Structure 1
């Protein structure tokens, strides 16, 4: 049965809608919204630095990403037919559990309210993958997650580069590492259709104004916690970025004191 959110096939025409790359890069799906005058007007002061509307939007959307991608990872572990798909599932579960813990830690410090449910659009993606089976699940998961992660990747970099809030920059740094890892895992499945990526956007012509709007929790509603099972301990970790190589302040300076009478030799490759 075809979902109204996602149509199977190599073209992956969502609701028969295909748009240009310029529209894809707009924040229709999960990307962080560009700063505008309305966002800038919402800037508030915190002990961690100014907090703009774009900063708040980013914190909420990191939470939203986990609320649907974490269960997709669980689906991949249960229904994936290929080993790389199951491995991608491990990374989705572990990565978003770590990001969710970070978001739940900083949100109250910044006065940001977090949602407990994905947006209707994100729930549509999750419903589509819940209904898919076999190799159809494998291919749809790889393509949908590659599209969504690809869309938000550049937006994370913008927040990291522009935010003046220490906690938001830390979250953006962590999110950048996790999202890049998830992009890599989707590509490692060998099921990503690169030719179709530039022309794809996952929305439908029937979407309403609340299609991508977060659903905020009711007063007193318990917070949903995304926690990786103990069975995944030591698995699904994003690679730790390598620290930059040390740079000597003085040109030609040696990394260690010279020894009298010693001759230098080139380092081994």
Structure 2
């Protein structure tokens, strides 16, 4: 369940490298699609941090759920620092809170007892990460601002590894390892204000095939 020190060090090194890139003088403003990606991934981070904290705090939660929750808090806190930095560079204002859909998910998780929490947490996060990976792949393929595309390239392995951890956890708990029908995702597949084609992510979307080393997929 725990990722290697090397993997986490590689993530930090990559983010640091992006942070050290000089700003391009007179760089054009990002497209609306790039701006929307920054806003959406920021809300993904806010939601994942809150959901992960809930998993850590749930006394009756499976230890594996707690462990993944802790990884979510750590990784998304680090990732959001970079999202905030890049948004500042390109002059994009980030939302203060998750989407209403994401807030509703957190409220639902907060209202569950211990016997229901593990299943709801894992299934909802599988759907959310499926959507987040799809969205990030789309930004890498279609984004026009190099700064935002670089950020998406750094975010992708983080999202994929957390998705893989959730899939492994689902298998250990005897749950489906692909997004389940009827589960609210942690990222809205149709984010308001998106001006370019965005991937349509349904709860039944099969896992992406480009996650390294995992039979995986695809996230206020």
TM-score of Structure 1 vs Structure 2, range by shorter chain: 0.5 to 0.7
Distance apart, 1:213 and its partner CA: 4.9
Q: Which residue of 2 aligns with 1:227?
A: none
Q: Which residue of 1 aligns with 2:104?
A: 124
Contact 1:59 1:107 in 2 (8 A): yes
Q: Distance in 2 between matches of 1:162 and 1:111?
A: 20
Contact 2:137 2:156 in 1 (8 A): yes
Aligned residue runs from structure 1 range 22-41, under 5 A: none
Contact 1:74 1:93 in 2 (8 A): yes
- Determine whether 1:154 maps to 2:123: no
Q: Secondary structure at the match of 1:114?
A: coil
Q: Secondary structure at the match of 1:115?
A: coil
Return the match for 2:122 from 142, 145, 153: 142
Q: Distance in 1 between matches of 2:159 and 2:179?
A: 20
Distance apart, 1:162 and its partner CA: 2.1
Q: Secondary structure at the match of 1:116?
A: coil
Question: Would the alpha carbon gap of residues 148 and 46 (structure 1) be closer, same or farther in structure 2, given more than 3 Å must change?
Answer: farther
Q: Which residue of 2 aligns with 1:181?
A: 161
Contact 2:109 2:120 in 1 (8 A): yes
Question: Would the alpha carbon gap of residues 196 and 150 (structure 1) be closer, same or farther in structure 2, given more than 3 Å must change?
Answer: closer
Distance apart, 1:67 and its partner CA: 1.6
Distance apart, 1:120 and its partner CA: 0.9
Q: Which residue of 2 aligns with 1:202?
A: 184
Q: Distance in 2 between matches of 1:117 and 1:195?
A: 28
- Aligned residue pairs: how many? 164
- Determine whether 1:70 maps to 2:53: no
Q: Which residue of 2 aligns with 1:133?
A: 113
- Determine whether 1:168 maps to 2:148: yes
Distance apart, 1:46 and its partner CA: 7.8
Q: Which residue of 2 aligns with 1:61?
A: 40
Distance apart, 1:164 and its partner CA: 2.8
Runs of 4 or more consecutive aligned structure 1 residues displaced over 6 Å after TM superposition:
none
Return the match for 2:30 from 51, 61, 66: 51
Q: Distance in 2 between matches of 1:169 and 1:212?
A: 18
Q: Distance in 1 between matches of 2:111 and 2:47?
A: 15
| Stretches of structure 2 lacking an aligned partner (at least 5 in a row) | 1-23, 194-211, 214-220
- Determine whether 1:193 maps to 2:193: no
Distance apart, 1:139 and its partner CA: 0.7
Q: Distance in 2 between matches of 1:187 and 1:173?
A: 22
Contact 2:126 2:179 in 1 (8 A): no
Q: Secondary structure at the match of 2:44?
A: helix
Q: Distance in 2 between matches of 1:112 and 1:194?
A: 36
